[in-house]
């Protein structure tokens, strides 16, 4: 290898380097790398020692060490043993890669299934602000407590906790969840029945793939949660919308003749309509499921936030035949970005689900699970829920007052006294998608009720989330929304 | 409501409470709850004020406040405004739930698909210790640095970062990944082509569902990564094993006649055999993919750890027709429990993938993404990789020395000089599953090579991970393993 003295090299670098300018590490990295790739620093050139260059440039030596290490990792520099750092002989393949060629393709490159998934997608591109549904008040989350518990988990970490996990979740968290559910949801469950997942969607994928085959029918509440629809569609199930009445999921006599493989329901606070499933209907569906071997997926996504009445216990607690799969999430009580949810499964399903979770998704997030378990054990979870319940109850009241004050009887408010959102029912014939679009031009996010339906002629309405909206913001934003809706009164 | 004075109540509690015994919060919770459910504390009873009870029991008042709050949330206690805390009138539904009934079911409750997924599962139940494959040395991960960066992200958190994410990942992380890949992998990509996922499996689910329809064929390296097999099986694809030769994936002339929809390959370090795909084969496959509109999924799971030669650049960098989907993970370079991986997609696919990611899985983990981006930007990522590369190189050398010393020519070592594992090739006819089972009884974990194959007569061997095994552990554990294998020499 040809050796070139480094005497002149610092000049090359010093001339381009601007101290106090853009991020030193990146600047230096670019200067040296460009020099190598343009052959201004030819193969075999010796780079200045890090200490010397640090003094010349007046920056931390560590920055220079890191830049050299990065470039060595890229194969552009080589360390001669005890003899400094040299520019490597570049393999031709390692010349700067070509700029990405814009690919010219006719039509969509997606598969039919891919087109259906993307075309039918309903997830909103906005997840913050008035009136994003399903978003809790994240400004009041006790982040300092969480961060402290998380730091503690890291201080006490055992190496295997950083590896792949291989079970249904961390035992501490499973126990904390079971205890919480026994108390608050009237559920008959042990920690061994709890399976921790990375979000509710992952849990739905497991259910759909392990308990149903392609072409099997699934009953979905209509209107209902779009995320479940997408998960079941991805699994190749046949989606059958089932209407709601005042008691909840109300299959027609004809539908009852052909039992599905799965039914998906949110009995404690139907999403999005807010209907509370009555006791009679609960018994009816449980008996039907037992007789026809139907799995009931009970989505209990926001049952913690019920403002006036005490919640009815979960369906799961009434199930004597192991037909109910209970789905809970920490997205509403903690924060959505945490990505932790859980299933409570009949005891004979837990091993298969745990095995499939490892196989299909691989699990981890162990330190977050430990942190959450401590957060629950130390009482922060219950305190936070209690505090937020008051906040949400008050916000709900303010929004309902605003609706009455500004729109009076032109609209109806659907849903029981619970949760993080309500539905503003619009007069038959109103076009909720157009209204939502108009509202968005004024900066107000609403979700048209028709998006939650598979039926050809869905009832129009607007789903309004108030969880993450202060009372002042509610008054302001609803004022703007009312101006869009007002013309409908006439 | 009947009011009962609380004068006698502390006795009830004090008698059962053991200070310094099991976790105070849980004890007190159980005592009071049992008292209510057994009606030893009848509806309307007033509980002692928290301050008073704290003094009597000699524990923190806050513990008592939390227990009362928990029981209030459960509907068992009610706060009378300014007048203390009372036992509530219990709705019958809220009596203690029945113990879970063991469900008696004949046969498996799983669907056909579910049985195939669980029955074909290959994920190991052990993810730590000698010789668990694919696990990095987690004892040397700079957890203190990570924890500090994570705490900073929490201190600077903006509320929307705690909500659902709605894109392809945090911009800082996407930029850091793109820059790293351009430098180290010879890749032509911009930050806009990077999609951050919760682990590689989630990325595979997206690919299989968006780019292929049920029944479409996928080529899989054989032996190959079982996780990809499971993801593609879950998506209803037809799995076609393709043999390897010294240059990597080697489809037969017959297979070339029927182009698949997808091919899955790990060209830089074939998993698990370690074959490095040569330049000619790379070009061949790229041309074939372009001509027949096949998607190539390039799994680059551990390319950072190459000990002697410099790595070949990624296939992606040679692709001029937008047929390569590059899959990278932080499980090997950081730690598996982090659950962060990424795709580099052709530019015209990124929007659809981001939308499907939101719809099918919902995203979050934003603060972990920010923490990782900072970890990379500050140079810790590259330093850690460099350090671990030396460690792994040394461990590999020790393991190979042990193999030669103890077993000599009776076995072969497969795979190039890279990664976190090697394959011990066994003589034709050896039963690798039995050997692995015997080794496990001595506490040594190995993975039979035949588990990685779909062919009827797979070559026998043992996959040995040395990433998380110290040199001393390697010598000790391989000694035990050699005793199991020795009889084969004769």
Kindly state the average pLDDT of the residues B213-227: 96
pLDDT band per the 50, 70, 90 thresholds, residue B52 = confident
Q: Compute CA distances B401 → A96, A158, B90, B208, B397, whole Å.
A: 38, 30, 71, 41, 6
Q: Give residues with Cβ within 8 angstroms of A24, minimum separation 6.
A: A57, A59, A60, A63
d(CA B4, CA A187): 30
Instruction: State how far the Cα of A89 lies from the Cα of A141, in Å rounded to an integer.
Output: 54
The confidence score (pLDDT) of residue A1 equals: 39
Bridge partners (DSSP) listed for residue A457? none
Smallest Cβ–Cβ distance between B127 and the set A67, A160, A377 belongs to A160
pLDDT over 60 at B385, yes or no: yes
The answer, yes or no, to whether residue B333 has pLDDT greater than 60, is yes
Please give the Cα distance from A240 to B367 (Å, whole number): 38
What's the CA gap between B87 and B89, in Å, rounded?
Answer: 7
Query: For tokens 């040594």, what's the residue?
Result: B444
Report how far residue A305's alpha carbon sits from residue A327's, in angstroms, rounded to the nearest whole number: 16
A425's enclosing H/E stretch is: strand A421-425
Closest Cβ opposite residue B111 in set A139, A200, A211: A211
Distance from the Cα of B298 to chain A's closest Cα (Å) equals 17
Chain A: residue whose CA lies nearest to B295: A109
Q: Does B366 contact A186 at a Cβ distance shorter than 8 Å?
A: no
Q: What is the pLDDT, as a whole number, of residue A18?
A: 76
**Class in CATH terms, A383-489:** alpha beta
| 3-state class (DSSP) for residue A37 | helix
**CA atoms of A245 and A289, how far apart (whole Å):** 19
Give bridge partners of residue B196 from the DSSP assignment. B342
Higher per-residue pLDDT: B79 or B162: B162
Closest chain A residue by Cα to residue B102: A347
Residues of chain A in contact with residue B375, where contact means CB-CB under 8 angstroms, are: none
Q: Is the pLDDT of residue B246 over 70?
A: yes
Note whether A188 contacts B98, CB cutoff 8 Å.
Answer: yes
Contact B163/A355, CB-based, under 8 Å?
no
**CA nearest neighbour of A297 among A375, A373, A234, A208:** A208
A414-447 burial code (b ≥16 CB/10 A, e <16) = bbbbbbbbbbbbbeeebebeebbebbeeeebbbb
Cβ pair B230:A124 closer than 8 A: no
Q: Specify the fold of A141-380.
A: 3.40.640
* Residues in chain B closer than 8 A to A111 (CB atoms): 209-213, 216, 261
The answer to whether B347 touches B333, Cβ cutoff 8 Å, is: no
Mean pLDDT by 10 residues, chain A (490 residues): 50 75 74 78 83 85 81 73 74 48 77 92 84 94 97 95 91 95 85 96 97 97 95 96 94 96 96 90 94 96 79 85 96 96 96 95 95 95 94 95 90 86 92 94 94 91 96 96 85
Provide CATH code, domain A9-87. Answer: 1.10.10.10
Task: For B398-444, write each residue's pLDDT tens digit.
Answer: 999 999 999 987 889 988 788 999 999 999 889 999 999 999 999 99
Closest CB to A202: pick one of B109, B320, B361.
B361
Q: How far is CA B131 from CA A283, B101, B335, B443, B453, in A?
A: 52, 41, 17, 10, 20
Q: What is the pLDDT of residue A212?
A: 97
pLDDT of res. B188: 78
- pLDDT class for B221, splitting at 50, 70, 90? very high
Which residues in chain A have Cβ-Cβ distances shorter than 8 Å to B99? 188
3-state secondary structure A449-485: HHHHCCCCCCCCEEEEECCCCCHHHHHHHHHHHHHHH
Residue B357 pLDDT greater than 90, yes or no: yes
For B193, name the nearest residue in chain A, comparing CA atoms only: A100
**What burial letters (b/e) apply to B290-325, b meaning 16+ CB within 10 Å?**
eeeebbbbbbbbbbbbbeeeebbbbbbbbbebbbbb
Whether B384 has a pLDDT exceeding 90, the answer reads yes
CA angle at A325 for the pair A320 and A331, rounded to the nearest 5°: 135
Contact B366/A337, CB-based, under 8 Å? yes
Of residues B441, B438, B452, B450, the one with CA closest to residue B486: B438
Spatial separation of the C-alpha atoms in residues A182 and A179, rounded to whole Å: 5
SS3 A329: strand
- Please give the distance of CA A131 from its chain centroid, rounded to a whole number: 18
User: B326 to chain A: which residues are within 8 Å by CB?
Assistant: none
From the list A23, A94, A212, the residue facing B186 with the nearest CB is A94
Inspect the interface and report whether the beta carbons of B214 and A143 lie closer than 8 Å: no
**Residue for token digits 């002042």?**
A472
> Quick one: pLDDT at residue B93?
41
CB contact under 8 A, A198 and B198: yes
Parallel, antiparallel, or unpaired for β A85-87 and A194-197? unpaired
Task: Quote the CA–CA distance of B372 and B205 in Å, as a whole number.
Answer: 23
Contacts B209 to A, Cβ<8 Å: 111, 113-114, 117, 234
A19 three-class SS: coil
Tell me which of B34, B68, B73 to substitute to probe the interface with A (most A C-beta atoms closer than 10 Å): B73
Is A210 close to B72, i.e. CB distance below 8 A?
A: no
Longest dimension (CA), chain B: 90
A366-377 vs A171-185: helix crossing angle, rounded to 10: 40
CA distances, B388 to each of A64, B132, B300, B306 (Å): 20, 17, 17, 11
Assigned token pair, B479: 């000694």
pLDDT at residue number A2: 43
Query: Does residue B94 register a pLDDT over 50?
Result: no
Q: Supply the pLDDT for residue A56.
A: 85
List b or e across A120-138, with b for residues whose CB sees 16 or more CB atoms inside 10 angstroms.
ebebbeebbbbbbbbbbbb
**Among chain B residues, CA nearest to A356:** B118
Please tell me the predicted confidence (pLDDT) of residue A309. Answer: 63
List chain A domain ranges.
9-87, 141-380, 383-489
In this prediction the pTM is 0.84
Query: The tokens of A289 are what?
Result: 């499921």
Predicted local confidence at residue A105, as pLDDT? 83
Burial of B355 (0-12, 13-18, 19+ CB in 10 A): buried
Q: How many Å apart are CA A466 and CA A242, to the nearest integer?
A: 27
Interface probe with A: pick from B335, B387, B420, most Cβ of A within 10 Å: B335
Which regions of A116-192 does DSSP assign to beta strands (E)? none
Nearest to B465 by CA among B484, B481, B485, B441: B481
The pLDDT value recorded for residue A31 is 84
Look up tokens 């009949």; give the residue.
Answer: A346
Give the pLDDT score at A90: 62
Interface contact flag, B339 A75, Cβ < 8 Å = no
What tokens appear for B82 in the block? Answer: 């300014």
| A124 and A445 Cβ atoms separated by less than 8 Å | yes
- Asked if A355 and B123 come within 8 Å (Cβ–Cβ), the reply is yes
């Amino acid at each position: 290898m040809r050796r070139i003295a480094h005497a002149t090299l610092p000049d090359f670098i010093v001339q381009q380097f601007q101290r106090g300018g853009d991020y030193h590490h990146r600047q230096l990295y670019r200067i040296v790398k460009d020099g190598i790739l343009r052959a201004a620093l030819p193969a075999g050139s010796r780079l200045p020692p890090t200490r010397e260059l640090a003094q010349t440039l007046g920056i931390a030596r560590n920055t220079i060490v890191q830049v050299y290490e990065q470039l060595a990792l890229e194969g552009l520099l080589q360390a001669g043993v005890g003899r400094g750092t040299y520019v490597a002989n570049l393999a031709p393949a390692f010349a700067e890669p070509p700029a990405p060629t814009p690919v010219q393709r006719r039509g969509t490159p997606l598969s039919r299934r891919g087109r259906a998934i993307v075309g039918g997608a309903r997830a909103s591109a906005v997840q913050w602000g008035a009136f994003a549904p399903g978003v809790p008040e994240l400004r009041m989350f006790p982040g300092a407590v969480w961060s402290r518990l998380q730091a503690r988990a890291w201080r006490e970490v055992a190496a295997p906790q950083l590896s792949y996990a291989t079970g249904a979740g961390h035992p501490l968290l499973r126990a904390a969840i079971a205890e919480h559910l026994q108390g608050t949801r009237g559920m008959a469950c042990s920690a061994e029945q709890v399976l921790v997942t990375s979000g509710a969607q992952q849990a739905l994928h497991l259910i759909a793939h392990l308990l149903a085959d392609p072409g099997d029918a699934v009953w979905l509440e209509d209107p209902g949660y779009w995320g479940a629809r997408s998960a079941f569609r991805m699994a190749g199930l046949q989606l059958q919308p089932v209407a709601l009445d005042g008691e909840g999921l109300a299959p027609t006599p004809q539908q009852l003749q052909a039992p599905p493989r799965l039914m998906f329901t949110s009995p404690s606070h139907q999403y999005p309509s807010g209907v509370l499933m009555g006791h009679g209907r609960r018994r009816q569906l449980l008996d039907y499921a037992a007789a026809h071997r139907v799995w009931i997926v009970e989505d209990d996504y926001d049952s913690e936030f019920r403002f006036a009445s005490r919640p009815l216990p979960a369906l799961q607690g009434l199930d004597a035949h192991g037909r109910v799969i209970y789905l809970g999430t920490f997205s509403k009580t903690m924060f959505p970005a945490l990505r932790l949810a859980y299933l409570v499964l009949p005891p004979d399903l837990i091993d298969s689900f745990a095995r499939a979770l490892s196989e299909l998704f691989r699990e981890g997030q162990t330190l977050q699970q430990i942190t959450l378990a401590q957060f629950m054990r130390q009482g922060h979870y219950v305190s936070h829920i209690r505090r937020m319940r008051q906040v949400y109850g008050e916000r709900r009241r303010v929004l309902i007052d605003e609706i009455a004050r500004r729109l009076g009887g032109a609209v109806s408010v659907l849903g029981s006294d619970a949760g993080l959102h309500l539905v503003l029912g619009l007069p038959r014939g109103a076009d909720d998608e157009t209204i939502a679009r108009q509202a968005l031009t004024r900066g107000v996010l609403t979700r048209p009720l028709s998006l939650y339906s598979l039926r050809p002629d869905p009832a129009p309405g607007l789903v309004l989330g108030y969880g993450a909206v202060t009372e002042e913001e509610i008054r302001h934003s609803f004022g703007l929304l009312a101006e869009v809706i007002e013309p409908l009164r006439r």
